[in-house]
Structure 1
Amino acid sequence: MNIATDRHTGRQAYARHPLQRAQRIFAMRDAVLGAWEQRVRASVRGADQLLTPILINTLPAFFDNLAEALTPGHPRENAASNSNVPAVHGNERARMTNYGPEQVIQEYQIFRDCFAAVAHEAGITLRSKDWQVINESIDSGIRESIREFTSMHEGFRRSIAAGLSHDMRNPLAVISTSAQLLLRPAEPERVAALAHKITEHSKRLDGMIEELLDSLSYHQGQRLPLALSRFDVLPLVQAVAGQVNLQRPGKCHVQGQSVTGWWCENSLRRALENLLGNALKYGDDGPIGVRVEATHERLFITVHNGGHAIAPEQAERIFDYLRRENDSPAPGWGIGLPFVQNVAESHGGSIAVDSAPETGTSFIFDVPVDCRPFVQPPGAPNSDS
């Protein structure tokens, strides 16, 4: 793996010719995660009952952050700096497991042991300054994970109805514009095309209203109702990016691999529209990079822009419903990112943000490749067709 081209598309390269030692640390990821999973299943109460995508959680991102922090010249101080990945880990542990705080802490301790053991087996000597970074990463990770873990147990703060209402503006705008154009003299072919647009987006709006009614009647009111199907997510990402490029040619660049899994296509499309719309608003007119990849049965979609970094005090509140900073120049209702978070969490996953002046801002959408075990109620049929 070339450190100069890391997992965040578009991020500035800090080492044109990375040291061999740093490359070897990045190459340890699969071995560390494999050893970690084996030890956690054997020693952490309740871990043996978790499927791999839920158990692995955000650990790949945490490992990459740590490897960056151990890379000479990289601006990341430790695995938790400029990133809410540990907080997302605690969030998902609260939602998806029967863990208590003790199990969350134990997982981080095991991660440190596995990282050291794999490094030793690979012949990589961890120096005193390396251990300082590792220990700071683990300590910060524990603090942030436990803080979010306990916060999640105090209650969820989502509003499904408001999120859906926010997204209804898109098809309504298309319907309104098409209807206005129909009032002008036009060729029959153009009339037919506009009528087709109105019909298509009316159906989409009707589906959103149905989701809204389902959400209002949902017993807990915390998760979106999802219609799961099996599809390749890469064409969906490319299609949403293509919509951006129709308005702003060459603005959005997609990289990555085809990943076929079970998700709600409509919800993922709307989440991607929100993430790319957010990147357009706050990207300082720079390019937008999107990367699609899968590892350890988890799908990662990273949306990166090079705009001004999110201030640390704002990053903690960025997913709060209707939260907007008073000095923000971009219009909006403060609903899009909470909706994206709800989509991720409803699929059994999470959304993380990584932002710093040197690297720009990346939103990491992270869900299981097969979401069926984490979405369908117990006893529901699980068809492979």
Structure 2
Amino acid sequence: MRSGPNPRPLQFTYVHNNFARKPCGMLASDQKMNANGLSATSKQVLAMRDAVFAEWESQVRRLIKDARHILHPTLLNTLPVFYDNIAEALTPNHPRSNATSNNDIAAAHGDERARMTSYEPEQIVHEYQLFRDAFSQVADEQGVTLTRAEWGIVNSSIDSAVRESIRKFTSMHDSFRHKMAASLSHDMRNPLSVIVSAAHVLSLGANPDRTPLIATRILDNGKRLATMIEELLDALSFNRGEKLPLNLSEFDVQDLARTVCRDTSVGDDAECAVVGASVVGYWCEDSLRRALENLVVNGIKYGDGNGVQIKIDEAHGRMLLSVHNSGNPIAPEHHGQIFEYLWREGGAKDKRGWGMGLPFVKSVAESHGGSVAVDSSPAGGTTFLIDIPVDCRPFVETD
């Protein structure tokens, strides 16, 4: 199987052809720690996760041209979380009716495909089709039998994910194109104005001594305009969002999480707890600290008083850092809006004003080559998930 190996491997073991890595627990977006309480079918599906992704990656790299040279963590991005959401939905009476219920993990997948790849929409559809095929093939090979109703949940999960991913992918490209077009169109007015003015002077019969100077001015601004048009065409054909400047260093994110918990808890250690694995990687410590502080403070502020929990996990070259609180959920129709600057749920007078915090969290995740997602429901509470590569160096632009 072809893959894009990490050029600077860290302290974890990862072998693409057998998916050897540190063991991890549940990766579902609701911060569930293990498979306790899930049905026998759900547990069987969880057990075949790595085999499904090994088969899926092999087929995606073989059949989707633009996927062949994508590094492994970017290729999988949020899909392992989506997979475990499917497993949860297969348990009867679980609050999650399918993998996209109460969360925007599929939208995060489309968002990251728009920012990190040169995919076209049909390639996103194709990779979900290959995911369905890999799931079915591995289930057959491992003797995992699903009922008609259970296959209905798997298929509805994939179909819903396709729609949400494409919707977000398209909106990301449209938004970027509009911004770039507006910006460059404005900037183009300056050289165009100079060209028109200079040509007008020439048409009036300018002093012959000034003709070379005017002609040079027309030529220089014509070149500037041509460069801007090239930039605009590049922007219209591919989108990479604005990124924060990052200072990458190697550290254990568990140490960072414990520090944030200690610093944000006011007189009560129970306000914040850290669970999960020790994961060492390359990230920007300052920006990740600020993002985590925002999530923890919001969790304490808007939760029901039972504190927040930070969970750390690692899967397929990705670090999953989530913050969970119980209490009133965020309405599904607001899952995308909460990451917009200065958006407030219920209007400006509502106390639940996220302000700059969540947009900054989103910017931190995207600048590290990853995504942020939210899972919120009355039964499960609210979980924000930062899903980024363990080693961000290949995904971060440096001077």
Could you tell me how far 1:78 is from its partner in structure 2?
Answer: 0.7
Give the match's secondary structure for 2:269: coil
Superposed, 1:53-132 pairs within 5 Å as 53-132=73-152
**CA distance in structure 2 between the partners assigned to 1:349 and 1:115 by the alignment:** 24
Could you tell me how far 1:7 is from its partner in structure 2?
Answer: 4.9
**CA distance in structure 1 between the partners assigned to 2:276 and 2:36 by the alignment:** 21
Superposed, 1:125-144 pairs within 5 Å as 125-144=145-164
**CA distance in structure 2 between the partners assigned to 1:267 and 1:313 by the alignment:** 28
Equivalent position to 1:345, from 366, 374, 377: 366
Could you tell me how far 1:255 is from its partner in structure 2?
Answer: 0.4
Matched, 1:323 2:338: no
Identify the residue that residue 284 of structure 1 maps to in structure 2. 304
Give the match's secondary structure for 1:49: coil
Could you tell me how far 1:49 is from its partner in structure 2?
Answer: 0.9
Equivalent position to 1:370, from 391, 394, 399: 391
Distance change in 2, residues 1:309/1:17 (3 Å): closer
Distance change in 2, residues 1:18/1:68 (3 Å): closer
Distance change in 2, residues 1:62/1:106 (3 Å): same
Give the match's secondary structure for 1:77: coil
Identify the residue that residue 214 of structure 1 maps to in structure 2. none
Aligned residue identity for 2:57 = E
Identify the residue that residue 273 of structure 1 maps to in structure 2. 293
| Aligned 8 A contact 1:33 1:59 in 2 | no
**CA distance in structure 2 between the partners assigned to 1:285 and 1:43 by the alignment:** 50
Compare CA radii of gyration and give the structure with the larger one. 2
Identify the residue that residue 213 of structure 1 maps to in structure 2. none
Identify the residue that residue 196 of structure 2 maps to in structure 1. none
Identify the residue that residue 212 of structure 1 maps to in structure 2. none
1:222-263 Cα offsets, whole Å, 9 max, x none, are 110000111111100110011122443311110011111110
**CA distance in structure 1 between the partners assigned to 2:354 and 2:380 by the alignment:** 27
**CA distance in structure 2 between the partners assigned to 1:290 and 1:339 by the alignment:** 18
Equivalent residue pairs, number: 315
TM-score (norm 2): 0.74
| Aligned 8 A contact 2:98 2:154 in 1 | yes
| Aligned 8 A contact 1:91 1:148 in 2 | yes
**CA distance in structure 2 between the partners assigned to 1:263 and 1:18 by the alignment:** 34
Identify the residue that residue 217 of structure 2 maps to in structure 1. none
| Aligned 8 A contact 1:8 1:291 in 2 | no
Give the match's secondary structure for 2:278: coil
Distance change in 2, residues 1:110/1:6 (3 Å): closer
Could you tell me how far 1:45 is from its partner in structure 2?
Answer: 1.8
**CA distance in structure 1 between the partners assigned to 2:81 and 2:97 by the alignment:** 15
**CA distance in structure 2 between the partners assigned to 1:232 and 1:111 by the alignment:** 32
Give the match's secondary structure for 2:103: coil
Equivalent position to 2:57, from 22, 37, 41: 37
Superposed, 1:175-214 pairs within 5 Å as none
Equivalent position to 2:380, from 359, 371, 374: 359
Instruction: Give me the identity figure in percent.
Output: 52
| Aligned 8 A contact 1:226 1:267 in 2 | yes
Identify the residue that residue 257 of structure 2 maps to in structure 1. 237
**CA distance in structure 1 between the partners assigned to 2:328 and 2:164 by the alignment:** 24
5+ residue gaps in structure 1?
Answer: 158-219, 381-385
Distance change in 2, residues 1:112/1:10 (3 Å): closer
**CA distance in structure 2 between the partners assigned to 1:236 and 1:9 by the alignment:** 22
Identify the residue that residue 206 of structure 2 maps to in structure 1. none
Matched, 1:334 2:329: no
Give the match's secondary structure for 1:229: strand
1:30-87 Cα offsets, whole Å, 9 max, x none, are 1111111111111112101100010011011100111111112212111111110000
Equivalent position to 2:272, from 252, 260, 263: 252
**CA distance in structure 2 between the partners assigned to 1:12 and 1:329 by the alignment:** 33
| Aligned 8 A contact 1:304 1:361 in 2 | yes
Give the match's secondary structure for 2:321: strand
1:332-365 Cα offsets, whole Å, 9 max, x none, are 5611000000000000000000111111111110
Aligned residue identity for 1:369 = V
Aligned residue identity for 2:167 = R
Deviates more, 1:92-101 or 1:119-128: 119-128
Equivalent position to 2:42, from 5, 9, 22: 22
Could you tell me how far 1:329 is from its partner in structure 2?
Answer: 4.8
Distance change in 2, residues 1:330/1:285 (3 Å): farther
Distance change in 2, residues 1:6/1:351 (3 Å): closer
Give the match's secondary structure for 1:254: strand
**CA distance in structure 1 between the partners assigned to 2:375 and 2:345 by the alignment:** 18
1:246-285 Cα offsets, whole Å, 9 max, x none, are 4433111100111111100000000000110111121121
